[in-house]
Chains A and B, each alone.
Chain A
């Protein structure tokens, strides 16, 4: 009953909040997945329900359209509890992109709250870490290419590129699922970024943060060799929800069957 009411509310919302652009989402199969963060902190695989993923990261142009529809998310109006001082600072103005922010570039310098709000406007949400990690394991022909050194090299190649240069536009080659740019363009927010309880001093194998983190302690890193993914986790776990950085963007996800 309650669900029905909410669905109705969402429909009503669609009128107010509908996006002009038609972002493309593709279905992702879900299933059991050997995450670098075991579900129980030891070895349990992650269970991922089928979901739909946005094929491309959100661009400057798309985020600009969002900000124009929802001026509360303009950089000059957003409350500081939702975004830090660098929020959208690469744009020429609060509702103009300018020369340093091309329309087809992925939007960066967005906080977790802003990313959440944007995804809500597409009747979506941020992907969970497991959803994101599972999607990013694919290459052009395999759903899980992580054991291939070439996959790792591609990820690491981006890490070793200095970040002083302008970001490329979205639209890299599609993977098996038709998703683009998961690796090699920007960092991406995930919904549960603050669930990646990695000790801030990563050498504490025994979880010195057991005090800080109740229960089973900080998550131990499985597959240490898969440090390409580990570095992404280190990055996400360093963030607060208001943080924005020059290399951090996002894409959205939806539960299967709830697309409007």
Chain B
């Protein structure tokens, strides 16, 4: 919790720095949140700037919808022609259980190619602002599971949300088209 307070409070100090590289006001990279990936590397979310991103949130213990979110991200990338520039990012909203090791294990089991896939965790207090930013609703249940909404976001190189889809379990043609337009995959 404290870490979030620190971050939000220093946001005011951080913003002018971002402004220096002309980060757009509608970029999600405005949020100073640190992500740790399945290999244990920690970096600010904003470090992903420069390449288009397909982003969602999940948690590793989820047995039904979350694997479908991951599969839908895979399928969307493929349907868009496997664009080389496109990066895929799924952030856990269960940092208590989703350790780096668990994320690595999950990536292995789902055969997520580390060249474009990132599974990431954030500090507990930073998860909700990130979800708020991405428009994801979630709520932890007493048994440790989560209720959550499912959404895929397409970010441009500067972190602006270009497209959004709530269709899970199959590819959304409009969303795929947006990915292809942005990331320029093979037709």
Contact = CB atoms under 8 A, between A and B. Distances in A.
Interface residues of B, number: 47
Contacts of B168: 211
Nearest to B137: A194
A70 B142 contact: no
A197 B149 contact: yes
Nearest to B135: A240
A214 B136 CA distance: 12
B179 interface: no
Contact of B9 (A121, A217, A218): A121
Nearest to B26: A80
A73 interface: yes
Given A6-B3, A120-B9, A216 B28 contact: no
B146 to A, nearest CB: 6
Interface residues of A, number: 49
A100 interface: no
Interface stretch (B79-87, B102-110, B125-133): B125-133
Contacts of B147: 41, 197, 213-219
A214 B148 contact: yes
A215 B133 contact: no
Contact of B145 (A6, A70, A125, A215): A215
Contact of B30 (A79, A213, A219): A79
A73 B27 CA distance: 16
B113 to A, nearest CB: 25
B8 A117 contact: yes
